[in-house]
Structure 1
Amino acid sequence: MTHLSYVNENTDAWQTYLAQIDRVAPHLGELAYYLDTLKRPKRTLIVDVPLVMDDGSIQHFEGYRVQHNLSRGPGKGGIRYHPSVDLNEVMALSAWMTIKTAVLNLPFGGAKGGVRVDPSKLSTRELERLTRRFTTEISPIIGPQKDIPAPDVGTNPNIMGWMMDTYSTTQGHTVTGVVTGKPVHLGGSLGRVRATGRGVFVTGLEAAKKINLTIENSKVVVQGFGNVGSEAAYLFNQANAQVVAVQDHTGTIFNPNGIDIKALQKYVEEHRGLAGFSGAEPIDNEALWDVEMDIFVPAALEGQITVERAKRLTAKLVLEGANGPTYPAADDILIERGVTIVPDVICNAGGVTVSYFEWVQDMASYFWTEDEINQRLDKLMIQAIADVWAMADQKSCSLRTAAYILACERILIARKERGIFPG
Structure 2
Amino acid sequence: MPDLLKQAVSRLESVVEADPDLRDMKRLLSLPSELIERELSLRTDEGKTRFVRAWRCRYNTLKGPTKGGVRFSASSTADEVNRLGFLMTLKCALLDLPFGGAKGAIQIDPDELSQSERYQLAISYGELFSDILRADNDILAPDVATTPEDMEAVVESLKPVHNSGSEGAVTGKPVDEGGLSIRHGATGRGAVFILKELQQDFDIDIKTCRVAIQGMGKVGLEFARVIQAAGATIIAMSDSSGMISSNDGLDAGEVARQKADGELNYSDEPEALLSLDTDILCLAATSDVVTGENAADLECRLILEIANAAISPDADKALADRNILVGPDILFNSGGVAASYLEWLSFCKGGADKLGDTEAMWQDRLTSAAGSVAATVDECNGDWRSAALIYALRDLNAIALGQGLFDA
Matching residue of 2:59 = 68
Matching residue of 2:97 = 106
| Counterpart pick for 2:335 among 343, 350, 354 | 350
> Which residues in structure 2 correspond to 1:76-225 (within 5 Å)?
76-225=67-216
**Separation in structure 1 between the aligned mates of residue 360 and residue 247 of structure 2, nearest angstrom:** 34
**Separation in structure 1 between the aligned mates of residue 310 and residue 355 of structure 2, nearest angstrom:** 30
- Give the superposition deviation at 1:31: 3.6
| Counterpart pick for 1:311 among 296, 317, 330 | 296
Structure 1 pair 211–372 and aligned structure 2 pair: CA distance change class (3 A): same
Q: Could you tell which deviates more after superposition, 166-175 or 93-102?
A: 166-175
- Give the superposition deviation at 1:417: 1.8
**Separation in structure 2 between the aligned mates of residue 365 and residue 166 of structure 1, nearest angstrom:** 21
CA contact (8 A) 2:241 2:270 kept: no
- Give the superposition deviation at 1:15: 2.7
- Give the superposition deviation at 1:174: 4.8
Matching residue of 2:284 = 299
**Separation in structure 1 between the aligned mates of residue 234 and residue 353 of structure 2, nearest angstrom:** 32
| Counterpart pick for 2:389 among 388, 396, 404 | 404
TM-score normalised to structure 2 length = 0.95
| Counterpart pick for 1:377 among 346, 362, 369 | 362
CA contact (8 A) 1:45 1:138 kept: no
**Separation in structure 1 between the aligned mates of residue 51 and residue 206 of structure 2, nearest angstrom:** 49
RMSD (Å), alpha carbons: 1.9
TM-score normalised to structure 1 length = 0.92
2:32 pairs with 1:41: yes
CA contact (8 A) 1:297 1:321 kept: yes
Structure 1 pair 397–238 and aligned structure 2 pair: CA distance change class (3 A): closer
Structure 1 pair 392–14 and aligned structure 2 pair: CA distance change class (3 A): same
**Separation in structure 2 between the aligned mates of residue 374 and residue 248 of structure 1, nearest angstrom:** 30
Q: Deviations over 1:275-320 (max 9, x none)?
A: x425xx5112222122121001000111001123221211111111
Q: Could you tell which deviates more after superposition, 316-325 or 163-172?
A: 163-172
SS at match of 2:80: helix
- Give the superposition deviation at 1:370: 12
Q: Deviations over 1:19-49 (max 9, x none)?
A: 1122222233334234311000001100100
**Separation in structure 1 between the aligned mates of residue 287 and residue 333 of structure 2, nearest angstrom:** 13
SS at match of 1:308: coil
- Give the superposition deviation at 1:122: 1.0
**Separation in structure 1 between the aligned mates of residue 359 and residue 222 of structure 2, nearest angstrom:** 14
Return the letter of the residue paired with 1:170.
Answer: V
**Separation in structure 2 between the aligned mates of residue 173 and residue 383 of structure 1, nearest angstrom:** 33
CA contact (8 A) 2:241 2:269 kept: no
CA contact (8 A) 1:132 1:163 kept: yes
Identity of aligned residues (%): 31
Return the letter of the residue paired with 2:332.
Answer: C
- Give the superposition deviation at 1:235: 1.1
**Separation in structure 1 between the aligned mates of residue 189 and residue 286 of structure 2, nearest angstrom:** 18
CA contact (8 A) 2:346 2:355 kept: no
**Separation in structure 1 between the aligned mates of residue 201 and residue 387 of structure 2, nearest angstrom:** 16
Matching residue of 1:330 = 315
> Which residues in structure 2 correspond to 1:214-253 (within 5 Å)?
214-253=205-244
Return the letter of the residue paired with 1:232.
Answer: F
- Give the superposition deviation at 1:420: 4.8
- Give the superposition deviation at 1:352: 0.2
CA contact (8 A) 2:302 2:324 kept: yes
User: 5+ unaligned residues in a row in structure 1: which ranges?
Assistant: none
- Give the superposition deviation at 1:334: 1.2
Q: What stretches of structure 1 move > 4 A for 4+ residues in a row?
A: 368-371
CA contact (8 A) 1:191 1:370 kept: no
2:400 pairs with 1:415: yes
- Give the superposition deviation at 1:333: 1.3
User: 5+ unaligned residues in a row in structure 2: which ranges?
Assistant: none
| Counterpart pick for 1:339 among 297, 303, 324 | 324
Matching residue of 2:345 = 360
**Separation in structure 1 between the aligned mates of residue 346 and residue 83 of structure 2, nearest angstrom:** 29
Matching residue of 2:264 = 277
CA contact (8 A) 1:190 1:370 kept: no
**Separation in structure 1 between the aligned mates of residue 193 and residue 346 of structure 2, nearest angstrom:** 23
CA contact (8 A) 1:64 1:114 kept: yes
